[in-house]
Structure 1
Amino acid sequence: MAKFQVNILGCGSATPTARHQPSCQVVDFRDKLFMIDCGEGAQSQFRKLGLKFSRLNHIFISHLHGDHLFGLPGLLSTMALHEVTGSVTIHIFREG
């Protein structure tokens, strides 16, 4: 059976606090990581959980509030700095 795991990197806070981080969840499925939202501090939590940047293939942004996407520039910059190879697809909603 394929591995399926949900990692909560942040929830319940519009801004980072000592106890909570902004929205970010990572689904681990068949050795690929799928990130849902990327709030500020996502990459720190990503590292704390021992997740590998090289396994991150898709990032889904639910909506354009800062607490759901302000971590994205830093995360992508860190991945480039560490020369993570492969591609990351960023999915956003279509305005309608």
Structure 2
Amino acid sequence: MKIGAATVLDGVHLEDSIAVNGTCLTVTKFDDSHFTVGLVQETLQKDLAGGARAGFAGQSGAGGAADEPDSLWIKVKTTKEILKYVVP
């Protein structure tokens, strides 16, 4: 996703994290007025769903490991006492 945002780019470096609508995204490319981030299906579904605007290509499919060759899914099991502190 390419995002226009000249103000936050002062001093930016590749692989910096920039919060977009509360979601931290990693800078993969930038110039004087835009930065580009890589997105995985989980980010689109959980964090950016409905929040992106102009120029956003949108979501496709229901996601899942088969659709995401650059993603690694790890399942973690915990107790109910700990689970109350975990954000999905």
TM-score by length of 2: 0.29
Q: Rg bigger for which structure?
A: 2
Greater fraction of residues in helix:
1
Greater fraction of residues in strand:
1
